[in-house]
C-alpha cells in the first residue's frame, strides 16, 4: 500500500526538519514501499534508517504528548469492557487501540499511530462518554499488532514486529487522509492548541512515559518555513479537538449552528457564513453582524452533488455562477461550500463561507479545513436532531398512550395511521362497564382494599378491551369506558365490542370481594360521534362525545348484574351469531325516543372465518 503524498509529507517533514533522515535514506524507504508496499514510516524503521525511539520522540513533541515503544506494548494489560465499547471497526479506522478507562476522572487512554486521525478525540469522547482523552503515540506496526492482540485474540500478534518497532500496518481503508491546512496565526495557534496529556492526571500508571533515550540526542532546529509547515500539518488535529469541545457544549440544533458559525470566523478569513439544511432550516452570520448571508441556489445545488465541496476565487467571473443574480448583486467574490454528510441519513445540507471584500480570500488548503469542520458539524447536528426526534417521540408516545392502545400508538408513530386531534365525525361503538352495588360494598371496606379490587377489575377490563381491538377511553369512578372506531374504523368493531363485553363479565366473576364474585353491568351502542382531543391546554383526552356515548352509558345504568345490553344498531353491525333476547322498550334519561335493549347471551363466531367462540354468558 503506497502512502499518499499528503500523508507522506506529514511523516517526512518533521523527520527531515529534525535531521533524522536524509535524501538517501528517504529514497531507500520509498523504493521499499514501491517494491513491497506498506507505509513509508514502517519502511524507514524496517530499514533502520532511524531508530524507533527517535521517530516517536519527534511526533510526541509535535503532538505535545508521550510515546510508547512496541516492546512495552507487548505485555500491556487491556480493559476488555473498554475494548467492547469502542469496537474493532473504530479502532482500525482511527488507527488506535484503547487501553484504559479511568472512571474517577472520566478519562480514556489510547495508543495511536502517527499521523493522528483528525477526529480521533471527538469520536472517542462520543463512543466512550469520556470527558478527556489521553493519547500516546506509537509506531503503526506496534498499534496494528496491539489491535490484533486485543480484538482478534492473536497471542502472536507482536511476532512480526521488529525490535525497531516496524511491522505489518493497516489496510488502505484505514489510512487517513491528512490534507494540509492554513497556517494559523500565533494567537489562533494559542487559542486552538490542546495539550493532550498535560490536561489529564491519573493515567500515568496505566502507560508510564518512556525514559529519555540514552546516546543520541535529537536537536530539533526548525526554520520559520518548516515551523509553518508543521503547524499546518498539526492544525487540523488540534482544531478538530477544539471545535468539538466548543460546539458539543450546545444541546439544541439552533444553538449548535450558531456556535459553528462563530467558530468559523476564528478559523477562516470569511466575511459571512451560513448553514443550509435540507430539512428547511437555515442560519447565517456575518462577521460584522449587519446583514443576512444569502446562499445562491446554484452553489447549493453544486455543493450537494460535489465530493469535496467547491471553491472559487472570484465568483463574479466563475462561469459556474454566471446565472446567479444573488452572486452578482451582492458582489460575492471568494466562496467555499462543502456538503454536510452523515452515515445515518446521508447529506443533510451544506456549510458555506464567503468573502465580499477580496478575491482569493480562500486557498486550496482552506477547503480541506472547511470540509473537516463540516464532517464534525454533521455528526453533531445529526446527533442533536436525533436527540430532538427521540424526545419528541417519547412525548408523543406518552401523550398517545393515554388514549390509544399500544398497537395503535405504534401505528401512529410509524406514519401508517393518522390521528385527527382537531376533531372529526366517526361511527364508533361505545362500551360502559359498571360495578353493581359499589357504593354499599365500598362503605364496609378499608380504603386500601377498595383501591385494590378496583385496580384488579380495571386491569381485567383493560385486557379484555385491548384483546378485542378496542381502546380504553377513561375510568369514571367504578366504571370503565371503552371505544372502537375512534382512530381507525373496522367492519367488525361492533362484534369485537360485544366479545369484549362478554369477556369482561366473565373475568369479573373470577374476582372475589368479601367472598362473593364481583357483579357488573355492561351497555353498548353504535352510532355517530364527535372524536378529537378534548380538554384544557395542559390536560386533554382523545375521546368521543355525543348522543351515542350517552345512550351506551344509559344502557349500562339499567343493566342488571351480569347483563350485557346492546341496541339494535350494534346488533345490526355485529352480524350473525349474536345470541340475544329483546327486552321491553324503555325511555332513558336524556333520550327522546323509547329504546329497545337487547340482552346478549352469547356470541358464536362463524368457523369459516377462522374464529373461535366467545365465552357464553351464564
Task: In whole angstroms, give the CA distance from residue 544 to residue 531.
Answer: 4
**According to the model, what pLDDT value does residue 251 have?**
66
Decide: pTM greater than 0.95. Answer: no
Please tell me the CATH superfamily of domain 406-609, with its number: Nucleotide cyclase, GGDEF domain (3.30.70.1230)
- Please name the residue that has the C-alpha cell 533524522: 20
Residue 406's Cβ-side half-sphere holds a number of Cα atoms within 13 Å equal to 4
Residues 6+ apart with CB under 8 A from 99: 76, 77, 78, 79, 82, 109, 110, 111, 206, 207
Residues 6+ apart with CB under 8 A from 19: 218, 219, 221
Helix (H/G/I), strand (E/B), else coil: 181: coil
Task: In whole angstroms, give the CA distance from residue 108 to residue 130.
Answer: 6
Q: Structural domain boundaries of the chain?
A: 5-114+134-235, 250-392, 406-609
Strands 132-138 vs 66-67: parallel, antiparallel or unpaired = parallel
Task: In whole angstroms, give the CA distance from residue 243 to residue 471.
Answer: 50
Q: Which parts of the chain have pLDDT scores under 50?
A: 1-6, 172-206, 208-230, 329, 607-618
The cell for 584 is 321491553
**According to the model, what pLDDT value does residue 151 have?**
92
Is 3.30.450.40 the CATH classification of the domain at 250-392? Answer: yes
Residues 7-12: contacts with CB under 8 Å, at least 24 apart: 7/115, 7/175, 7/176, 7/177, 7/178, 8/40, 9/180, 9/229, 9/233, 10/114, 10/115, 10/178, 10/233, 11/40, 11/41, 11/44, 11/114, 11/115, 12/40
Bridge partners (DSSP) listed for residue 353: 273, 336
pLDDT in tens, 459-470: 999 999 989 988
Q: Which H helix or E strand runs over 382?
A: helix 366-401
pLDDT in tens, 25-67: 999 999 998 898 888 899 999 999 999 999 998 888 877 788 9
In terms of Cα–Cα distance, which of 487, 570, 486 is closest to 522? 570
**According to the model, what pLDDT value does residue 291 have?**
74
Task: In whole angstroms, give the CA distance from residue 180 to residue 39.
Answer: 19
Task: In whole angstroms, give the CA distance from residue 307 to residue 315.
Answer: 20
Burial 528-543 (b: 16+ CB within 10 A, else e): ebbbbeeeeeeeeebb
> According to the 3-state scheme, what is the secondary structure of 194-234?
CCCCCCCCCCCCCCCCCCCCCCCCCCCCCCHHHHHHHHHHH
Phi, psi for 3 (deg, rounded to 5): -80, 155
**According to the model, what pLDDT value does residue 472 have?**
87
In terms of Cα–Cα distance, which of 112, 118, 94 is closest to 173? 94
Contact criterion met (CB below 8 Å) for 523 and 553: yes
Amino acid at each position: 500500500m503506497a502512502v499518499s503524498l499528503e500523508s507522506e509529507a506529514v511523516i517526512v517533514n518533521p523527520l527531515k526538519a529534525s535531521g533524522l533522515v536524509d535524501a538517501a535514506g528517504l529514497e531507500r524507504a520509498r523504493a521499499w514501499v514501491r517494491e513491497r508496499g506498506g507505509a513509508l514510516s514502517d519502511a524507514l524503521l524496517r530499514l533502520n534508517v532511524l531508530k524507533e525511539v527517535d521517530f516517536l520522540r519527534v511526533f510526541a513533541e509535535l503532538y505535545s504528548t508521550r510515546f510508547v515503544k512496541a516492546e512495552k506494548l507487548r505485555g500491556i494489560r487491556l480493559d476488555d469492557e473498554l475494548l467492547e465499547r469502542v469496537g474493532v471497526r473504530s479502532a482500525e479506522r482511527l488507527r488506535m487501540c484503547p487501553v484504559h478507562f479511568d472512571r474517577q476522572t472520566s478519562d480514556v487512554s489510547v495508543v495511536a499511530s502517527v499521523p493522528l486521525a483528525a477526529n480521533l478525540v471527538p469520536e472517542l469522547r462520543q463512543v466512550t462518554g469520556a470527558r478527556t482523552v489521553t493519547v500516546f503515540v506509537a509506531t503503526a506496526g506496534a498499534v496494528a499488532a496491539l489491535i490484533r492482540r486485543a480484538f482478534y485474540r492473536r497471542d502472536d500478534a507482536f511476532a512480526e514486529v521488529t525490535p525497531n518497532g516496524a511491522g505489518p500496518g493497516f489496510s488502505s481503508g484505514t489510512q487517513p487522509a491528512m490534507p494540509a491546512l492554513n497556517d494559523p496565526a500565533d494567537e489562533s495557534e494559542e487559542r486552538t492548541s490542546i495539550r493532550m496529556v498535560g490536561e489529564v492526571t491519573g493515567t500515568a500508571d496505566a502507560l508510564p512515559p518512556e525514559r529519555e533515550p540514552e546516546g543520541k540526542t535529537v536537536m530539533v532546529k526548525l526554520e520559520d518555513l518548516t515551523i509553518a509547515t508543521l503547524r499546518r500539518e498539526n492544525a487540523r488535529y488540534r482544531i478538530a479537538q477544539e471545535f468539538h469541545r466548543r460546539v458539543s457544549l450546545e444541546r439544541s440544533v439552533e444553538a449548535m449552528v450558531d456556535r459553528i458559525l462563530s467558530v468559523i470566523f476564528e478559523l477562516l478569513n470569511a466575511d459571512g457564513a451560513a448553514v443550509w439544511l435540507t430539512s428547511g432550516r437555515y442560519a447565517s452570520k456575518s462577521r460584522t453582524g449587519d446583514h443576512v448571508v444569502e446562499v445562491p441556489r446554484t452553489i447549493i445545488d453544486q455543493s450537494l452533488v460535489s465530493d469535496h465541496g467547491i471553491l472559487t476565487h472570484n465568483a463574479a467571473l466563475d462561469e459556474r455562477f454566471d446565472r446567479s443574480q444573488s452572486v452578482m448583486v451582492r458582489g460575492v467574490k471568494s466562496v467555499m461550500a462543502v456538503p454536510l454528510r452523515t452515515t445515518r441519513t446521508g447529506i443533510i445540507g451544506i456549510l458555506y463561507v464567503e468573502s465580499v471584500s477580496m478575491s482569493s480570500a480562500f486557498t486550496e488548503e482552506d477547503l480541506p479545513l472547511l470540509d473537516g469542520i463540516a464532517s464534525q458539524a454533521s455528526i453533531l447536528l445529526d446527533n442533536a436532531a436525533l436527540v430532538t426526534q427521540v424526545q419528541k417521540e417519547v412525548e408523543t408516545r406518552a401523550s398517545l398512550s393515554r388514549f390509544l392502545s399500544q398497537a395503535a400508538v405504534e401505528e401512529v408513530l410509524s406514519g401508517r395511521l393518522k390521528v385527527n386531534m382537531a376533531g372529526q365525525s366517526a361511527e364508533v361503538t361505545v362500551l360502559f362497564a359498571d360495578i353493581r352495588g359499589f357504593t354499599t360494598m365500598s362503605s364496609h371496606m378499608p380504603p386500601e382494599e377498595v383501591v385494590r379490587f378496583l385496580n384488579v377489575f380495571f386491569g381485567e377490563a383493560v385486557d379484555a378491551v385491548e384483546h378485542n381491538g378496542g381502546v380504553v377511553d377513561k375510568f369514571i369512578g367504578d366504571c370503565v369506558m371503552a371505544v372502537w372506531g375512534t382512530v381507525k374504523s373496522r367492519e367488525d368493531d361492533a362484534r369485537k365490542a360485544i366479545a369484549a363485553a362478554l369477556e369482561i363479565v366473565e373475568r369479573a366473576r373470577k374476582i372475589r370481594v368479601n367472598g362473593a364474585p364481583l357483579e357488573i353491568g355492561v351497555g353498548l351502542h353504535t352510532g355517530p360521534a364527535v372524536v378529537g382531543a378534548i380538554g384544557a391546554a395542559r390536560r386533554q383526552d382523545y375521546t368521543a362525545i355525543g348522543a351515542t356515548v350517552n345512550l351506551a352509558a344509559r344502557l349500562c345504568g339499567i343493566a342488571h348484574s351480569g347483563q350485557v345490553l346492546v341496541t339494535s344498531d350494534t346488533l345490526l353491525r355485529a352480524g350473525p351469531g349474536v345470541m340475544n333476547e329483546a327486552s321491553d322498550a324503555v325511555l332513558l334519561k336524556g333520550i327522546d325516543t323509547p329504546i329497545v335493549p337487547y340482552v346478549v347471551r352469547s356470541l358464536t363466531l362463524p368457523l369459516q372465518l377462522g374464529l373461535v367462540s366467545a365465552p357464553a354468558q351464564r
